Structure 1
Amino acid sequence: MNPLTLLFRDYSAEPPPKDFSMLPFIRSSFNKGCATFTCLLMVALISGCTNLAPPATESKNWITQRDQLLDLESWQMRGRVNIRYNSESHTPRIQWQHEDRDYKIRLWGTFNVGNTTLVGQPGFVTMEQDGRVLNAQSPEDLILQQLGYELPVSYLEFWIKGLPAPNSSADLDFNQLNQLITINQDGWTVNYTDPRQYGSISLPRRIKITRPINDIRLRFIGLSWTLDNSIN
């Protein structure tokens, strides 16, 4: 059975599986399992690269927006993230704080169920859920340890701000206002809607990320942003 599917199963009505080697954080709660998987999938999508791949179309507005986003090193995002894998779906709240190359991501559900915190920096990642802690040298190691499954590494850190991932070619689509609305990159499609203005920077309020070959979909909903030194 696919280890990702195991994370969504309700174990309260059946005996425990014989092999726990890939699933040390599984609980008897559907919400906790889904929150763990959501966090792990997000870790797999994070990358610390620095060189941005050039877009196919570079209008003056896009160049200005891109350069401002690349200079944005300190920010905080809040909202919800819906993750759907096959027929399973979960929508925890998310708070993501980013400072230079360090990040802290918190996910939690109704009544704080499945409270999961991820803290990372180059060369070290820690995940804590309900007092239990797991460390790894990289997001890729964490995914392999917990899921026994290698997800392709993408670049959510860039996509979430409205940038194509670095060191990889991408097809970009713009609307009539020269705002980025779609990124197609490495088999993933990222769609942006409902952008909001924060000073001179435009940031997305809704993002949909899909990869049909894996039947995985991420939707970020109702995002609000706090930028630079105003982060609390």
Structure 2
Amino acid sequence: MRLGCTLMLALILAGCSTFKPQTPMPGSGSWEDYQRRALALETWALDGKIGIRTGQDSHSARLQWQQRPGDYRILISGPLGQGGALIEGSDQGVIIDVAGEGRYRASSPEGLLQELLGWSFPVQQATYWVRGLPAPGLPYSPGFRENRLETLEQGGWLIHYSGYSQQGDPGLPERIRLRRADLTITVIIKDWELSSATESQSKPL
């Protein structure tokens, strides 16, 4: 059970619901401008906290995610798992080290999750969701507030954005809630590091 919760946290699951899409307002700081700038960020890192709540239990941990073109590194550390998990992926495959559990390899994170837990999660899409963007190649239903995503339904998942940074260009999400059935994942981002813009933005929890 601890392995399952750790991997769910590390790969940031979300959930399904329905809502009425809204249309973003045109003008300065438009949704189109935000999309262009956020999509241009191919190298970035975030540092924050992540919490998971199910119908039976809840956990929290520190989240550190480094993303570069072609590879990524996600570290979960803190009370959950007494050491957490390290996920490292690239075009050649993925390696997951779980403290006290072992080391696992696969050609894709989706395949490894399916093998270990019996379900699959679109990790690649999450690299867009965390930046406040819909993932390419899948239909989606957005809800907007002030030309930013407030809700996003895509691939059976529901993502709710309740806060964006007022610093940096663009101001990226700071608080994200992701839901599916009785599972709720909350991500609070304390710091973004944007290598392509040679800047970082932070806000205390």
Q: Given the two structures, how large is their TM-score scaled by the length of structure 2?
A: 0.80
Output the CA distance in 1 between the equivalents of 2:33 and 2:191.
21
Query: Is the contact made by 2:53 and 2:183 (CA closer than 8 Å) also made in structure 1?
Result: yes
Matched, 1:88 2:36: no
> Aligned to 2:171, what secondary structure does the other structure show?
strand
Deviation by residue 1:101-156 (Cα, 9 ceiling, x = unmatched): 21000001139813311100124000112373211100112102211x12353621
Unmatched segments (≥5 aa) in structure 1: 1-6, 9-25, 27-32, 46-54
Structure number with larger C-alpha Rg: 1
Matched, 1:121 2:90: yes
Bigger proportion of residues as helix = 1
Matched, 1:172 2:142: yes
Query: Is the contact made by 2:60 and 2:79 (CA closer than 8 Å) also made in structure 1?
Result: no
Q: 2:37 aligns with which of 58, 68, 75?
A: 68
Aligned residue for 1:38?
9
Shift of 1:89: 1.4
Structure 1 residues 222 and 71, CA gap change in structure 2 (3 angstroms): closer
CA RMSD of aligned residues (A): 2.7
Aligned residue for 1:143?
113
Matches within 5 A, 1:1-232: 7-8=1-2, 34-39=5-10, 41-42=11-12, 57=23, 59-60=26-27, 61-110=30-79, 113-130=82-99, 132-147=102-117, 149-153=118-122, 155-175=125-145, 177-212=146-181, 215-228=182-195, 230=198
Higher relative contact order (CA 8 A, sep 6+): 2
Output the CA distance in 1 between the equivalents of 2:121 and 2:44.
26
Deviation by residue 1:71-126 (Cα, 9 ceiling, x = unmatched): 10011101111122332211111000001121000001139813311100124000
Output the CA distance in 2 between the equivalents of 1:218 and 1:228.
27
- Figure out how many residues of one structure are paired with residues of the other and give that number: 188
Structure 1 residues 205 and 136, CA gap change in structure 2 (3 angstroms): same
Shift of 1:204: 0.9
Structure 1 residues 150 and 111, CA gap change in structure 2 (3 angstroms): closer
Output the CA distance in 2 between the equivalents of 1:107 and 1:224.
15
Bigger proportion of residues as strand = 2
Unmatched segments (≥5 aa) in structure 2: 15-20, 201-205
> Aligned to 1:125, what secondary structure does the other structure show?
strand
> Aligned to 1:201, what secondary structure does the other structure show?
coil
